[in-house]
Chain A
């Protein structure tokens, strides 16, 4: 299997046992030779774990971990021998507008452009990104 950039959700799921798709993400990571993170996905990882959140009953909850702890977990991931760093070196001008329907999709569209620039797959847990990919030369890999 080709090397893949993990989108933020997959990156989080692959290393946090509290993510409902942890098992699926781990299985994928075992199959892939190398995985990439970029400043964008690393930042999303840190922001997710260190921000307060609202539970399904609407109650405000404290962050899932402190900033130091989140950084420590990220550093452990970055030190794995199968990890590769990928700079966010594609200008937004290279982002495809294919099926872009709103502001929430800029990050996803950017990661697709970044993967395409570096001939990598963009691995994701979310099938909703499917229509943003170019079917003639797809780079999106939805984790089964």
Chain B
């Protein structure tokens, strides 16, 4: 797929070096770097049954106060 990208200069240098070193096009080098990054940073698996409630961070004291105020 043909598109236009604006790359950070250091990212461009890495991609350019990879392309030159491996004798591939700049586009292929960028594609491979993106896919390589995805493979190397998998999402940490969420522990089972863990969730994130709404309302922001709260403390032991907040829970205590809520349960006592009934």
Which residues of A come within 8 Å of B, CB atoms? Answer: 8-9, 12-13, 15-21, 26, 44, 47-49, 51, 53, 61, 64-65, 73, 76-77, 79-80, 104, 107, 125-126
Contacts and interface: CB of A to CB of B under 8 A. Distances in A.
Question: In terms of DSSP, what is the predominant structure of the interface of chain B?
Answer: loop
Interface residues of B, number: 21
B60 A18 contact: no
21 contacts: A8-B67, A9-B64, A15-B49, A16-B52, A16-B53, A17-B50, A18-B52, A18-B53, A18-B54, A18-B55, A19-B60, A21-B59, A48-B66, A53-B55, A53-B66, A61-B55, A64-B53, A64-B54, A64-B55, A77-B49, A126-B60
A17 to B, nearest CB: 4
B17 to A, nearest CB: 39
Contacts of B57: 18-20
A65 B58 CA distance: 14
